[in-house]
Amino acid sequence: MKTLSKNAIIGYSAGIITGISYGLNPLFAVPLMNNGAIANYCFNCHISHSNPKYRCN
């Protein structure tokens, strides 16, 4: 059996974590939208964290 390098182990771990977090996104987004949050507003708040030019109220 071939042994995996350290980079391969880190890559597989990052891929698994990314897949899990992407899959759990609706679990947190649906309650927000049921309480009146607008999808565009949620997206704009995400943008504001990466670019200080945009702000959320």
How does pLDDT run across 21-49, given as a tens digit for each residue? 888 888 887 887 788 766 665 555 655 55
Question: Between the CA of residue 16 and those of 4, 22, 28, 30, 57, what are the distances in Å?
Answer: 16, 10, 19, 23, 34
Structure letter (DSSP) for residue 20: H
Count CA atoms within 13 Å of residue 41 on its CB side: 9
Can you give the pLDDT at residue 34? Answer: 82
- Quote the tokens at residue 18: 């990314």
50 CA to centre of own chain: 13
Q: What pLDDT, in 10s, does the model give residues 1-13?
A: 688 899 999 999 9
pTM, rounded to two decimals: 0.52
